[in-house]
Amino acid sequence: MNRFARRLAWSAVVVWAAVSVAFALNTLLPGDPARMVSGPQARPADVARIREQLGLDRAPLVQYARFWRRLVHLGPRVVERDGAPEHAGCVAVLPLGPSAVHVSLGKSFQMRQPVVEIIAVRLPRTLALAVAGLLVQLSLGVAAGTFAAVRRGAWIDRALVGTSLLGVSAPTFLIALLLQYVFSRQLRWLPLDGFGSTLADHARCLVLPALTLGIYGAAFYTRLVRDEMLVLLRQDWVRTAYAKGLPRWQVVVRHGLRNAAVPVVTALGLDFGSLMGGAIVTETVFRWPGLGELSVRAMLDRDGPVVCGCVVVTAVAIVATNLAVDLVYARLDPRVTVPRAPRTR
């Protein structure tokens, strides 16, 4: 429990540091958000007024302190759009007597909307894409990896391993363009990009981005499962299982795959964390309005509060899944750690 508390404390430090980096970047970057908001034709006096409204005239340290003080605080029970300006970017999450607990990441410079609301709209979309993408890559990767391991050394094994390296080498936007060409331009089965307006539309629009993420990620899982299964299938208990007359697929599934689940679940957890920050490239190519697409646009628009908000969500997601995976893993198998490098999708 002590170990857990320490891990938790360090996780909080990492989130704090990531958000601080985001904050520092926002203040250090060249360019003037007030000028971006007011437009190129605005008079200097107007630019100054907007700068004051956005709180950009204060020293960065003051803005920074204000950001954290504002993150969770108490305020009136109902937040009115045109109410008190100090609660303009707030969302009341938990009523508490006459007042309520407010959560605020500030107000977007460009969209004039509380950042919490903007993120709340987009988070489910990114979640849907992450889950769908992970499902695709899991099923593709486990199937190919198992197959390659069972047929070790055969041409199909070499082909699958070679293809997986090719898959790792294909940037997501290449996969995306290829899928768009085949399924949207040629076959006309699925929409090219976008989000749609009905639930069925959303589902149809989700297929290609999910496939893109899945194909890209499956390559990694193929290798992981194959390497794991090669070790597992050499174990004595597998020979015993064959000896007592179990059919091959039962040996592979029950005595092999089940034991390979631990590293796969670990990798899945870590992937989920990084996907929750938004698959920036995939979302941009398919115009899927999730967090990744939001964060890129906010960065280009110098919309500081939105960038910070996206970083908060990403950092919390990554740190939380890392923590969860560590805890689950420590319980299941205290020996191994899975190192990962940052990937671009």
Residues that bind other proteins (CB under 8 A): 10, 13-15, 17-18, 21-22, 24-25, 27-31, 59-61, 64, 162, 165-166, 168-171, 173-174, 177, 181, 185, 277-278, 280-281, 284, 292, 295-296, 299-300, 307, 310-311, 314-315, 318-319, 339-344
> Considering the complex, what minimum distance in angstroms separates the CB of residue 85 from other proteins?
23
Q: Which amino acid is at 278?
A: G
> Considering the complex, what minimum distance in angstroms separates the CB of residue 318 from other proteins?
5
CB atoms < 10 A from the CB of 195, how many? 16
> Considering the complex, what minimum distance in angstroms separates the CB of residue 299 from other proteins?
5
Q: Of 32 and 246, which has the nearer Cβ to other proteins? A: 32
Q: Of 50 and 319, which has the nearer Cβ to other proteins? A: 319
Q: Of 119 and 257, which has the nearer Cβ to other proteins? A: 119
Q: Are 280 and 293 in contact (CB under 8 A)?
A: yes
> Considering the complex, what minimum distance in angstroms separates the CB of residue 243 from other proteins?
30
> Considering the complex, what minimum distance in angstroms separates the CB of residue 61 from other proteins?
3
End-to-end CA distance of the chain: give it in Å, rounded. 36
Q: Of 75 and 269, which has the nearer Cβ to other proteins? A: 269
> Considering the complex, what minimum distance in angstroms separates the CB of residue 321 from other proteins?
10
Q: Three-state SS string across the chain, please?
A: CHHHHHHHHHHHHHHHHHHHHHHHHHHHCCCCHHHHHHCCCCCHHHHHHHHHHCCCCCCHHHHHHHHHHHHEEEEECCCCCCCCHHHCCEEEEEEECCEEEEEECCECCCCCCEHHHHHHHHHHHHHHHHHHHHHHHHHHHHHHHHHHHHCCCCHHHHHHHHHHHHHHHCCHHHHHHHHHHHHHHHCCCCCCCCCCCCHHHHHHHHHHHHHHHHHHHHHHHHHHHHHHHHHHCCCHHHHHHHHCCCCHHHHHHHHHHHHHHHHHHHHHHHHHHHHHCCCHHHHHHCCCCCHHHHHHHHHHCCCHHHHHHHHHHHHHHHHHHHHHHHHHHHHHCCCCCCCCCCCCC
Q: Of 54 and 241, which has the nearer Cβ to other proteins? A: 54
> Considering the complex, what minimum distance in angstroms separates the CB of residue 21 from other proteins?
6
Q: Of 29 and 327, which has the nearer Cβ to other proteins? A: 29
> Considering the complex, what minimum distance in angstroms separates the CB of residue 58 from other proteins?
9
Q: Of 232 and 311, which has the nearer Cβ to other proteins? A: 311
> Considering the complex, what minimum distance in angstroms separates the CB of residue 203 from other proteins?
25
Q: Of 117 and 193, which has the nearer Cβ to other proteins? A: 193
Q: Of 7 and 202, which has the nearer Cβ to other proteins? A: 7
CA distance 313 to 263: 25
CA distance 75 to 90: 9
